[in-house]
């Protein structure tokens, strides 16, 4: 049970998105606020979702119906599903990038610079010209959508999940090895300082909103997925322990990525200017591999693991929408799969092209990719979570949260009172304030 939930939480959010956010939000200050967000808000909101899911025993919309909540509460589940779908649109694009880098590692193309090109410029040029290209990223995104379609239609997601459960510990181990390599690079200390030594004068509302959004994204909160997962949790599962384990492991993987990326960034002198956050990992990691014996082997192994991690995440995000459409509209599974995945051929394509040929299209100052990411991650997930906390804290049956946290009184839960306090007051107020200050 913990493995499945960790499988959903650990993904591109930790490996790709977290370092990119740290990079563009001033380094260690972001990390400090991020850790606070995970501990103070992430774990309690996760417990709210777990309790709701196990008590309501259904999908993100169905739980409210089963718990006999008033009609408008269903909208909270609806918002979660919509947010998860928007996230899927751009997540699929990045999943495509990992796929391309897997092929490039196998063919060796990733590690063969042009004549006269230094290694550092090679990796920057490679990624920049790849993401801005019209066809290449699109083809890879389409490949990932097709793989998702095949897996969902064949109903073998359990198989993929099992493979991923074996592969995740391997990923963890090789990240440890990469940390060792990265920390011993010349000039590593400067990068470490950027990542670990906060300058609190740099805090702004944007930093806090971004950290909060990243925490929700990374823990898969506010998307309806944990509600759905926890409806399958056994009665004697200890929710508090599960939430803490999942959150801390997820945090650990993110911090490990920071320890790999930032020493490498300063060591290789990749200037942060002109370097898109979104492409950071795809540029620095090959640099690290280049420092290791058997470069290609490490690269293949890493991108293979990352592609599988991305696949388990895209499948579980898509599954939220498939389950919803199938249940609500009483539709056959294959039809629901097509309805969910077909529009991605257009929507994900728009996201992908918005980094290249369509970069002139601006929505609220962002390209389409960043706009969807910002809106879904930084705005919709937190808003959904506020309402979720208000429901669980104030409107759900009074015995729901204590019963779920203590397994109907059979175990003690010291966390119950603080969690209830946070869910009732702190989380809605704090998240609300952060959002308001972001807009004014
Ligand atoms: N939490 C995942 C990550 O950090 O990559 C993303 C994710 C997976 C979100 C599955 C939602 C989900 F249902």
| CA angle 136–278–168, rounded 5-degree value | 90
Average pLDDT of span 374-401? 95
pLDDT recorded at residue 115: 76
Average pLDDT of span 221-240? 91
**Quick one: pLDDT band at residue 237, thresholds 50, 70, 90?**
very high
Average pLDDT of span 17-30? 94
Q: Assess whether pLDDT exceeds 70 at residue 272.
A: no
Atom 9 (ligand 1) nearest CA: 220
Ligand 1, atom nearest to 219 Cα: 1
Q: Render pLDDT for 137-183 as a digit per residue (tens, 0 to 9).
A: 999 999 999 999 999 998 877 777 788 888 888 999 999 999 999 99
What domain range includes position 53?
2-439
**Quick one: pLDDT band at residue 224, thresholds 50, 70, 90?**
confident
Verify whether ligand 1 is closer than 6 Å to residue 140 (CB atom). Answer: no
Q: Assess whether pLDDT exceeds 60 at residue 273.
A: no
The mean predicted confidence, pLDDT, of the chain is 92
Atom 7 (ligand 1) nearest CA: 220
Verify whether ligand 1 is closer than 6 Å to residue 224 (CB atom). Answer: no
Verify whether ligand 1 is closer than 6 Å to residue 322 (CB atom). Answer: no
Q: Assess whether pLDDT exceeds 80 at residue 344.
A: yes
Burial class from Cβ neighbours inside 10 Å (0-12, 13-18, 19+) for residue 201 reads exposed
- Decide if 76 contacts 388 (C-beta within 8 A): yes
| CA angle 228–388–341, rounded 5-degree value | 45
Say how many Å lie between the CA of residue 51 and the centre of ligand 1: 19
DSSP letter for each residue of 34-94 = HHHIIIIIIHHHHHHHHHHHHHH-S-TTHHHHHTT--GGGHHHHHHHHHHHHHHHHHHHHH
Tokens representing 347?
Answer: 């929507």
Say how many Å lie between the CA of residue 144 and the centre of ligand 1: 16
Q: Phi first, then psi: give them for residue 231, nearest 5 degrees.
A: -70, -15
Domain count of the fold of the chain: 1
| Share above pLDDT 70 across residues of the chain, in percent, rounded to a whole number | 99
Say how many Å lie between the CA of residue 310 and the centre of ligand 1: 9
- Decide if 82 contacts 262 (C-beta within 8 A): no
Q: Phi first, then psi: give them for residue 292, nearest 5 degrees.
A: -105, 150
Residue 423, CA distances (Å) to 85, 114, 242 in order: 26, 56, 18
Say how far apart CA 33 and CA 51 lie, in whole Å: 26
Q: Render pLDDT for 317-327 as a digit per residue (tens, 0 to 9).
A: 998 898 889 88
Average pLDDT of span 93-117? 92
Say how many Å lie between the CA of residue 220 and the centre of ligand 1: 5
Verify whether ligand 1 is closer than 6 Å to residue 11 (CB atom). Answer: yes
Indicate which CATH number applies to the domain containing 92. Answer: 1.20.1740.10
pLDDT recorded at residue 358: 95
Tokens representing 226?
Answer: 């944990």
The pTM assigned to this predicted structure is 0.94
Atom 12 (ligand 1) nearest CA: 317
Say how many Å lie between the CA of residue 219 and the centre of ligand 1: 7
Verify whether ligand 1 is closer than 6 Å to residue 317 (CB atom). Answer: yes
């Amino acid at each position: 049970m913990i493995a499945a939930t960790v499988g959903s939480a650990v993904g591109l959010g930790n490996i790709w998105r977290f370092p990119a956010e740290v990079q563009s939000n001033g380094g260690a200050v972001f990390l400090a606020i991020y850790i606070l967000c995970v501990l103070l808000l992430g774990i309690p909101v996760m417990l709210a979702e777990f309790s709701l899911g196990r008590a309501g025993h259904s999908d993100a919309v169905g739980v409210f119906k089963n718990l006999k909540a008033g009609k408008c509460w269903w909208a909270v589940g609806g918002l979660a599903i919509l947010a998860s779908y928007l996230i899927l649109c751009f997540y699929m694009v990045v999943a495509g990038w990992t796929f391309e880098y897997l092929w490039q590692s196998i063919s060796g193309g990733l590690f063969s610079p042009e004549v006269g090109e230094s290694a550092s410029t090679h990796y920057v040029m490679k990624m920049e010209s790849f993401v801005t290209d019209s066809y290449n990223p699109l083809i890879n995104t389409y490949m990932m959508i097709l793989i998702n379609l095949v897996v969902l239609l064949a109903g073998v997601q359990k198989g993929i999940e099992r493979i991923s459960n074996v592969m995740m510990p391997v990923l963890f181990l090789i990240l440890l090895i990469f940390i060792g390599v990265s920390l011993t690079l010349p000039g590593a200390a400067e990068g470490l300082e950027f990542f670990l030594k906060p300058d609190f004068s740099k805090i702004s509302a944007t930093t806090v909103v971004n950290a909060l959004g990243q925490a929700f994204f990374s823990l898969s909160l506010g998307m309806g997925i944990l509600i759905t997962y926890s409806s399958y949790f056994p009665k004697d599962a200890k929710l508090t322990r599960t939430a803490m384990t999942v959150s801390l492991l997820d945090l650990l993987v993110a911090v490990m990525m920071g320890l790999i990326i930032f020493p490498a960034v300063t060591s290789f002198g990749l200037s942060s200017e002109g370097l898109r956050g979104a492409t950071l990992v795809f540029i620095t990691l090959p640099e690290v591999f280049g420092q290791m014996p058997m470069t290609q082997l490490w690269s293949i192994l890493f991108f293979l693991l990352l592609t599988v991690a991305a696949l388990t995440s895209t499948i579980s995000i898509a599954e939220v929408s498939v389950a919803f459409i199938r249940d609500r509209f009483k539709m056959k599974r294959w039809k629901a799969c097509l309805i969910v995945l077909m529009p991605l051929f257009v929507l994900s394509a728009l996201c992908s092209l918005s980094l290249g040929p369509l970069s002139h299209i601006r929505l609220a100052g962002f390209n389409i990719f960043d706009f969807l990411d910002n809106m879904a991650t930084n705005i919709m997930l937190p808003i959904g979570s506020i309402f979720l906390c208000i429901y669980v804290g104030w409107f759900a049956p009074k015995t729901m949260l204590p019963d779920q946290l203590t397994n109907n009184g059979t175990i003690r839960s010291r966390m119950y009172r603080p969690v209830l306090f946070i869910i009732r007051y702190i989380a809605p107020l704090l998240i609300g304030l952060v959002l308001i200050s972001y807009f004014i």
